[in-house]
Amino acid sequence: MNVLIVTQYFWPENFRINDLVLGLQERGHLVTVLTGIPNYPTGKYFVGYGLFKKLKDDYQGISVLRVPLVPRGDGNGIRLILNYLSYALSASVIGPFLCRGKYDVIFVFEPSPITVGIPAFILKKTTSAPILFWVQDLWPESLSATGAVRSKIILAAVTWLVRLIYKGCDRILVTSRAYIDKIEKLGVSSERLYYFPQYTEELYQPVVIEPDAVERTLVPNGFRIMFAGNIGAAQDFSTIIEAAGILKAYRDIHWIVIGDGRMRKWVDSEVRKRGLSDFVHLIGRYPVESMPRFYSLADVMLVTLKKDPLFALTIPAKVQSYFACGKPIIAALDGEGGRLMRESQAGISCSAEDPNALAEAVLKMYTMPKTEREMMGRHGRDYYLKYFERTMLIDRLQMWMKDLSTEVANH
């Protein structure tokens, strides 16, 4: 098949769509990616890229077509809106000229914003190819959940746009079963909705690193609680910091944060202000390839989200990578995420935005025999192989793509 991928984010930005296109290429499909100029999460164009630089790119033999956009800057306010709208406009206007081939399907990757659906809708008109739309993030709920938008008028306008985009999609794939009811209420029939969860790249697996590995020099000795990923508003770092403060008497408990994001400076400031620099360690961003190596040094992995009806429906993508590496997990998640932890028996779950409950969960892991924690890690690995394994899921997506392409061709 000839597959067109529409995504605002793509390599060298670190998103799962990078691996998905490789999975489709591995299966013999011709893949083209229509994306923007890389600028996430730094907010600045990556070195070597710009408005007139490397607009045609190559990713391991995959054709990458880039359109101009306004970089996201600090990720706040008007700058973020311009980032979203500029990609949607550029891809809608320039995309049809760049993507004039015969495509069997258009696959849309939507972690946010929903506006990525606008150019896909235009390209469906110009190419006659059907759309599979992979929803990672519910709109307009995500706007209100993060506090980005409070205006009822704007939220109503976004809801209208979401309905329009969903109406134009032939199949809508969701990363959480809990999304299905929300999307059905926007007029999407159950026949068009498919559950397609996150998976992880094959490099995520249990590893044992060398005694002299550089990663060992970057994390302190002691009981290591490790958080990996975006440091943003949704991840509720205020609760993590509060819990670290509650447990500061346990001087060998260390909270290690790998990643970056727009809340990084605030977290740094709070850690210093509260006298927690000996216990909370922000060690920065590292390549995805090094993540399993860092995970191998953790006693327990941590995932948190703010308390919000939207986040109660969400399964953060990092959960699957923690599962795949066979590490026990503490999950401060409500709803679907908490349910997943209980079902998998891969760790301990507690309520979101409850520092005391999080501290209690950490102490429980801390005092637990290592063999019990290792058993939790094995449960997570088994659960991953059963429900989230990469080959199984990409094969499933390939089947859906072929079925949809055949269905459209027969009409």
243-275 pLDDT per residue, tens: 999 999 999 999 999 998 889 999 999 999 999
Would you state the pLDDT for residue 101?
86
Query: Residue 161 carries which side chain, given as an amino acid letter?
Result: L
CA distance 47 to 94: 23
pTM for this model (two decimals): 0.86
Stretch(es) of the chain classified as CATH 3.40.50.2000: 2-199+389-410, 214-387
Q: Which CATH architecture has domain 2-199+389-410?
A: 3-Layer(aba) Sandwich (3.40)
Interval 321-339: pLDDT, tens: 999 999 999 999 999 998 9
Average pLDDT of the residues in 137-155: 75
Question: How far is Cα 304 from Cα 144, in angstroms, rounded to an integer?
Answer: 18
Model pLDDT, residue 376 = 98
Q: How many CB atoms neighbour CB 278 within 10 A? A: 11
Q: Does pLDDT of 113 surpass 70? A: yes
- Give 193-230 pLDDT, tens digit per residue: 999 999 998 999 999 999 999 999 999 999 999 999 99
Q: What residues contact residue 309 under an 8 Å CB cut-off, 6+ apart?
A: 141, 145
Q: Is the pLDDT of residue 45 over 90?
A: yes
Kindly list the distances between the CA atom of residue 173 and the CA atoms of 194, 238, 401, in Å, as whole numbers in the listed order. Answer: 5, 32, 12
Nearest to 23 by CA among 396, 303, 372, 310: 396
In angstroms, the CA 369 to CA 397 distance is 41
Query: What mean pLDDT value characterizes the chain?
Result: 93
| Residue 365 confidence (pLDDT) above 90 | yes
Place of tokens 């984010």: 9
Quick check: 175 and 199 in contact, CB under 8 A? no
Pick the CATH number of 214-387 from 3.40.50.450, 3.60.21.10, 3.40.50.2000, 3.60.15.10: 3.40.50.2000
Q: Are 190 and 180 in contact (CB under 8 A)?
A: yes
**Region 55-59: what's the mean pLDDT?**
94
Confidence of residue 76 (pLDDT cuts 50, 70, 90): confident
Region 349-362: what's the mean pLDDT? 97
Confidence check: pLDDT of 81 > 70? yes
Q: Report whether pLDDT(149) > 80.
A: no
pLDDT at position 404 is: 93
User: What backbone torsions phi and psi does residue 348 show, to the nearest 5 degrees?
Assistant: -120, 135
Band (145; pLDDT cuts 50, 70, 90): low
Instruction: Indicate the pLDDT class of residue 139, thresholds 50, 70 and 90.
Output: confident
